[in-house]
Amino acid sequence: MYSDKQQKTLAGLGKTLLANDHLKSTSKSEASEVIDQLIQVLNYHDWRYYVLSEPIIEDTDYDYLFDALKLLQETYPSLMRPDSPTQRVARGLSEDFESVEHTVPMLSLAKAYNDQDLIDWDASIKKLMQEEQIVYACEPKFDGASLALVYENDLLVRAATRGNGIVGDDITNNIKTLPSVPLRAAFSKYGIYKTELRGEVVIHKERFKQMNERRAAAGEKLYSNARNTASGALRQKDSSKVAEKQIEAFLYQVGVTYDEAGNDRTRDLKSHGASIQLLYDLGFKTSLKSHDDQSNICQNIEEVIAYCNKWRETRDDYDYEIDGIVIKVDDVELQDMVGYTAHHPRWAIALKFDARQATTILEQIDYQVGRTGAITPVAKLKTVNLAGANISNASLHNEEFIKEKDIHIGDTVILQRAGDVIPYIVEAVKRKRDGSETPVVFPTHCPSCESPLEKPEEEAVWRCSNRLECPAQVEEQLIHFVSKGAMDIRGLGRDIVKRFYQEGRIQRIPDIYKLNYGGIKLLEGWGERSVAKLKDSIEASKDQPLYRLLVGLGIREVGTGTAKRLVEAVDSVEELQNWTEEQLIELPDIGPKVAASIVSFFQDERSIKLLEELKELGLNMKKREQDMPQVKSTVLAGKTFLFTGSLQQFTRNDAKRMVEEMGGKLLSGVSSKLHYLVVGEKAGSKLTKAQKIETITILNEDEFLKLVAEAK
């Protein structure tokens, strides 16, 4: 590798080559040598600029080098190399992203919220390992979008989003446009033939600020926060636009490594700290400041806490958004011994920083009408930046929330992002009132259709009484019907449904299946291919399982679990027209309130007409064997389960799957019909309620796993 002084001298090479037309007379052998030199020089300057943030040449000199390389490769296409910086140039519009399976799952992390949580976690590791002292590696928890990179024979061959942890979106073309990600890295020097790395894509705070300044000057909508902007950039269909977001990738984990014979060599790296040093030496962007930076290695939990406190105090001074610190057992052999749960590695934990707060002014309140007619007051705030996002709206939930916090229009309020995500009004600052504030008067009529509002005594929410004709409700019902949890009609997202509704193309659910596709083709942003995909998706939805149709109909109190219970009890949707409340209450997970709602829906003539129309349009109205849960045994038959709290050893979906595969049923609430309540961390009101019912057995996660194992 050339010295910095030599690199500065070579910076003029591109201009020289282009200026005297030397390239036009270069032989192929000479061109090969020059290409090798240019690639080495350009990759070095990419590293200086994008990884170290310490450029040593002017941008124009870099451009001359790049253009010279590009011209040589165009002259001799056979000399094109996959690690050439010119390969970062976008390839234009790509097809929809394909799903790819990660080499090893990208699990979540257990969470800590204070020093005591860390101390307890440290004690559990020591107890498990019978060790008196554990060395930990710490690093900032970047608030960005997760990324998996696969290198094979030193070349970047695949990049993917985290997805569901098992499968992610293939975004290789987009990632190849990032100068902070090497297209070639010399893993082979360390006996590594294939490896999968983990990282986070982020945007420098100052660059994000500059992007929004440019958008403001151009009259464009501002990006709300760096995290969402980075995540959106990863899924750009046009790779040429990825560079506009100026995203960077920090690498924080070597997931797995293999030698050329396919043997797992992950443990050869000995420690997490050593693996990060390896990535730094290979030119990746990491949290290390230098090769021998040991500031992130802590000899005990006390040093970990000190490290976390230092970052907590200085997080706002860092160039990138972070929302916590990740702590890992440093020794990889100990990591293996500590092991994993289905949800997270036991040898790692993320300390989450406290939610940040800001004060602003509540300027007015708007009232939104939901799918079930619920009226939700939304605070319109004087825009304030909080934790990297510009906040101008926050839910006030309901009338009781406003009264409890004594909120007035014009109040100075304390705003917080719950989990650094959802804006939440903590309180009104009453000492700042000057008399100009006005009490909130909750409306008595629907802001959409002017129908009277109603509120049952047992509820906190006011609702519009005009369920089937209120424009706001109808629009939300359409959005719900096509949503992923219901009929899952791809291509009909919220914005498109709203547009089609406002244009009169869709006014009722049956209209979805009567769309004029010829007319849609004429709309801006639509073409043959997108219209064909929409049509295919709508047609495919006709064959959805019956429970999805029940969810899509938007019956109050009927979610996925209840819909599945109903489908198990009938052969077709028409049968539900004859069911009484008493019959419904006999089913698991259905109480008087839910039963009354179901009967009310199926006794409404308008609902019956809707179902008849959907049947005529070809939608599936019957229960089918292939749509039912695949029961592998019946050892839990007749038993009902409910999960509450934060589960650490398995995901909620995994737990539900285990129960259903063994013949058990899942309930959505605590009642006398519940047999087992499985509690995770920070279980709340469901645990309190279950403790008052003697017939309910309360299990922790270990006891649940033991029950399942014994049942098998």
> Taken in order 393, 395, 399, 405, is the CA torsion positive or negative?
negative
What is the C-alpha R_g of the chain?
30
Of the two residues 673 and 378, the one the predictor is more confident about is 378
The percent of residues above 90 in pLDDT, for the chain, comes to 49
> Per mean pLDDT, which range of 142-151, 537-546, 633-642 is the poorest?
633-642
| Per-residue pLDDT at 334 | 93
Q: Is the dihedral of CA 331, 329, 341, 187 positive or negative?
A: negative
Q: How confident is the model at residue 669 (pLDDT cuts 50, 70, 90)?
A: confident
Pair 182, 248 in one domain:
yes
Share of the chain above pLDDT 70, in %: 91
Nearest to 125 by CA among 300, 244, 285: 300
pLDDT confidence band for 53 (50 / 70 / 90): low
pLDDT digits (tens, 9 = 90+) for 470-501: 999 999 999 999 998 899 998 898 999 999 99
91 pLDDT band, cuts 50/70/90, is very low
CATH for 194: 3.30.470.30
Mean pLDDT of 562-587: 91
389-434 per-position pLDDT tens digit: 788 999 898 898 999 999 999 999 999 875 455 788 989 999 999 9
Same domain? For 253 and 312 the reply is: yes
Closest CA to 180 of 153, 207, 162: 207
Are 665 and 589 within 8 A, CB to CB? yes
| Torsion angle of C-alpha atoms 694, 698, 703, 707, degrees rounded to 10 | 60
Going by pLDDT thresholds of 50, 70 and 90, the confidence category of residue 25 is: low
Give the per-residue pLDDT at 3: 54
In whole angstroms, give the CA distance from residue 18 to residue 491: 48
Q: For 228-277, how does the pLDDT look when each residue is reduced to its tens digit (9 = 90+)?
A: 788 888 878 777 778 778 899 999 999 999 999 999 999 899 999 999 99
Question: Above 80 in pLDDT, residue 51?
Answer: no
Query: Is pLDDT of 626 > 50?
Result: yes
Residue 1 binned pLDDT confidence (cut-offs 50, 70, 90): very low
The residue behind tokens 């939304």 is 378
Q: Would you tell me how many other CB atoms lie within 10 Å of the CB of residue 284?
A: 23
Check residue 174 and report its DSSP letter. Answer: H
Q: How far is CA 8 from CA 18, 85, 86, 101, 542, in A?
A: 18, 18, 21, 43, 65
pTM above 0.85, yes or no: no
Q: What are phi and psi of 288, to 5 degrees?
A: -75, 145
Looking at residue 76, its pLDDT comes to 84
3-state secondary structure of 646: strand
Tell me the sheet residues that pair with 340: 345
pLDDT of residue 449: 95
Average pLDDT over residues 135-154: 94
Question: Are both 124 and 231 inside the same structural domain?
Answer: yes
Residues 135 and 249 in one domain: yes
- Six token digits for residue 652: 């909620």
pLDDT above 80 (res 530): yes
User: Is 464 within a domain?
Assistant: no
pLDDT at 179 over 60: yes
Do 18 and 156 lie in one domain? The reply is no
Report residue 629's pLDDT band, with 50, 70 and 90 as the boundaries: low
At 84, the pLDDT band (50, 70, 90 cuts) reads confident
Judgement on whether residues 497 and 602 belong to the same structural domain of the protein: yes
pLDDT of 710: 67
d(CA 498, CA 200): 34
**HSE-CB for 116 with a 13 A CA cutoff:** 0
* Whether residue 547 sits in one domain with residue 569: yes
What are the CB-based long-range contacts (under 8 Å, 24+) for 680-689?
Answer: 680/643, 680/644, 680/645, 680/646, 680/647, 680/648, 681/645, 681/646, 681/647, 681/648, 682/645, 682/646, 683/644, 683/645, 684/644, 684/645, 686/642, 686/644, 687/644, 687/645
The DSSP-derived string for 298-347 is ESSHHHHHHHHHHHHHHGGGSSS-EEEEEEEESBHHHHHHH-B-SSSBTT
Looking at the structure of the chain, the number of domains it has is 5
Domain end among 32, 56, 88: 88
Range 142-152 average pLDDT: 93
Q: What pLDDT is attached to residue 307? A: 96
Which tokens is 196 given?
């999968």
Question: By residue range, what is the domain housing residue 45?
Answer: 4-88
- Out of 583, 601, 626, a domain closes at 626
Whether the pLDDT of residue 324 is over 50: the answer is yes
Q: How many CB atoms lie within 10 A of CB 685?
A: 9
* Phi (first) and psi of residue 258, to 5 degrees: -135, 150
User: In this predicted structure, what is the pLDDT of residue 217?
Assistant: 82
Q: How many residues comprise the chain?
A: 712
Which pLDDT value is given to residue 688? 83
Is residue 451 classed exposed, middle or buried when 0-12, 13-18 and 19+ CB atoms within 10 A define those classes? middle
CA–CA distance, 73 with 67 (Å, rounded to integer): 10
Q: Does 448 map to a domain?
A: no
- Model pLDDT for residues 191-201, shown as the tens digit of each residue: 999 999 999 99
Q: Note whether residue 494 is domain-resident.
A: yes
pLDDT at 95: 46
Q: pLDDT for 576-613, tens place per residue?
A: 999 999 999 988 768 888 999 999 999 999 999 999 99
pLDDT at 214 over 80: yes
Find the CATH number of the domain harbouring 11: 1.10.287.610
Nearest-angstrom CA–CA distance, 611 and 176: 50
CATH number at residue 396: 2.40.50.140
Of 24, 28, 126, 141, the active-site residue reads: 141
pLDDT tens digits, residue range 266-302?
A: 989 999 999 999 999 999 999 998 888 899 999 999 9
383 plus 344 within the same structural domain = no
Task: Using alpha carbons, list the distances in angstroms from residue 297 to 117, 277, 345.
Answer: 19, 12, 19
Tokens, residue 662: 């063994």
Q: Can you tell me which residue has the tokens 């939990």?
A: 301
Assigned token pair, 268: 């050869």
The answer to whether residues 267 and 217 touch, using CB atoms and an 8 Å cutoff, is no
pLDDT of residue 93: 39
Question: Pick the residue with more confidence: 88 or 451?
Answer: 451
More confident residue, 182 or 710: 182
Instruction: Provide the residue type at 76 as one letter.
Output: Y
One domain for residues 342 and 361: no
Distance between CA atoms of 549 and 613, rounded to whole angstroms? Answer: 13
Task: Give the H/E segment covering residue 415.
Answer: strand 412-418
Closest by alpha carbon to 51, among 248, 310, 202, 205?
Answer: 248
Q: Say if 277 falls within a structural domain.
A: yes
SS3 at position 412:
strand
Tokens standing for residue 78: 């056979």
- Whether 609 sits among the annotated catalytic residues: the reply is no
Average pLDDT over residues 455-476: 87
- Domain shared by 363 and 345, yes or no: no
pLDDT for 416 equals 83
Q: Phi/psi of residue 452, each to 5°?
A: -65, 145
Instruction: Count CB neighbours of 684 within 10 A.
Output: 10
407 & 550 share domain = no
If you search the block for the tokens 């004709």, which residue do you land on?
A: 469
Looking at residue 77, what DSSP letter applies? G
Cα–Cα distance measured from residue 610 to residue 591, given in angstroms and rounded to the nearest whole number: 26
Nearest to 134 by CA among 268, 294, 298, 270: 298
What is the structure's pLDDT at 60?
A: 65
CA nearest 579: which of 559, 555, 560? 555
Which residues, other chains included, contact 649 with Cβ-Cβ below 8 Å and sequence gap of 6+? Answer: 341, 342, 343, 701, 702, 705
DSSP β-ladder status, 167-169 and 665-666: unpaired
At residue 90 the predicted structure's pLDDT band, cuts being 50, 70 and 90, is very low
Q: How far apart are CA 146 and CA 161, in angstroms?
A: 6
Q: What CATH code is carried by the domain that includes residue 653?
A: 3.40.50.10190
Which of 352, 380, 412 is the last residue before a domain boundary? 352
Domain match, 122 and 234 both: yes
CA–CA distance, 664 with 666 (Å, rounded to integer):
7
Q: What is the pLDDT of residue 632?
A: 65
> Cα–Cα distance between 578 and 507 in angstroms, integer?
29
Residue 489 lies in a domain: yes
> What confidence score (pLDDT) does residue 72 get?
84
Q: Which of 18-27, 308-317, 672-681 has the lowest mean pLDDT?
A: 18-27
Q: What pLDDT does 712 receive?
A: 59
Which pLDDT belongs to residue 197?
97
In this structure, what are the phi and psi dihedrals at residue 419, rounded to the nearest 5 degrees?
65, 25
Q: Is the pLDDT of residue 94 over 80?
A: no
Mean pLDDT, the chain, rounded, equals: 86
